[in-house]
Amino acid sequence: MRPTFSLGRIAGVRVGVHWSVLLIFGLIAFGLAAGRLPEAHPGHSWAAYALAGLVTAVVFFASLLAHELAHAVVARRNGVPVDDIVLWLLGGATRMRAEAPSPAAELRISGVGPLVSLVLGVGFALLAGALAALSASRLLVESVAWLAGINVLLALFNAIPAAPLDGGRLLRAFLWWRTGDRLRATAGASAAGRIFGWLLVALGVWGFLWTTAFGALWLALVGWFLVVAATQEERQARLRELLSGVAVDETMTRDPETVPAGLTVDRLLADPGYAHGHSALPVTDDGPAGRVLGLMTLDRAGKVPEPGSTTVGEAMRPLSETRVATPGEALVDVLPRLEPGAENRVVVLDGDRLAGIVSPSDVNRTVRWLSTRRSRDGGDHRGHRGRRGRWDRHDRSDH
């Protein structure tokens, strides 16, 4: 889930918002302003209801952000790097670059989110009681009470032992601790997630057919998301297990084609030596060492308004915004950074020297090679270092 726009950094973590948040934000604000608030406390102006609904929706999303920030902060304290937090249609997601190092760390990282939501719920409940005792505005009391209830529900729902919910990760931590096998633990938590997800889908469809209430379809949608996410989580765990022990330099395309920063964009597009088969090119300076400055994609080049007077160095994606890795880095730690799209290629740097580039197709070729070898060798894919020649002869048509 890629963010549509960024909120900057909070507690050192990048925070982004997907456009789908606007949909759920509007539904919450409208539902409160046109439904719950006037029904519970009639007689106020439309503007008062609208303001109360908007402010309550904003505070609700701040509560979601606090939930995800708790995950991120505890993850970093347990040695797990965090890429970013993205708020979207069904809540929030904290993207981490690696797995928790132990069941205890998994327990701490996963459990802190529901705990924060529960504390917020209790805090809002106490605040609503205090405001009522002080004879504060009934709309204010009702809004705070709604925030208390929704945060408690959020904590309880996330604590359900089904992946990819926080409770599913707590279940995985327990199974991992009991069996000592993280992959088996992930499979168990994912199976629980699929069962729970299909149950929600069935309940949602049945509820819609029985009552024709569109809220039931929302329940089915949440269930379907859980089924898909739980399945994907198990696949990713199996992929990480297959790629364990594989370094970036055993997968990357070595010595990729580069483009000088001083070249104009129109010459880049006109030269078939650059354009043929390469969707992303590392950009280097004019010095003898060829220091990497960034990444240029054909899509970005095609959008330059004045290619004849714009250099590649001016149009490129700078290195500070480009995904990078080192040759000896574990490939499984790079996977979270590797997403579809030419601009998401991972540039591999050995100090200041360009060592290679990694794309999803590079990883796919390595996975196919390892899967074939595992089938042939009865499941043991280790000891592959020294056979790099097979992996280095890549078709570079996707870079």
Contact 206, 221 (CB under 8 A): no
State residue 85 phi and psi, 5-degree precision.
Answer: -120, 135
Annotated active-site residue in 68, 233, 234, 250: 68
Label residue 316 exposed, middle or buried (CB < 10 Å: 0-12, 13-18, 19+).
buried
**Any catalytic annotation for residue 39?**
no
Peptide bond into 161 cis (omega under 30): no
29-37 CB contacts, 8 Å cutoff, 24+ apart: 29/53, 29/54, 29/56, 29/57, 32/56, 32/57, 32/143, 32/146, 36/142, 36/146, 37/139, 37/142, 37/143
Distance separating alpha carbons of residues 241 and 380, to the nearest angstrom: 11
The separation between CA 160 and the C-alpha centre of its own chain, rounded to angstroms, equals: 21
State residue 251 phi and psi, 5-degree precision.
Answer: -120, -30
In the chain, the largest separation of any two C-alpha atoms, in whole Å, equals 78
Residue with tokens 């205890």: 104
Which sequence positions are flagged as catalytic?
Answer: 68
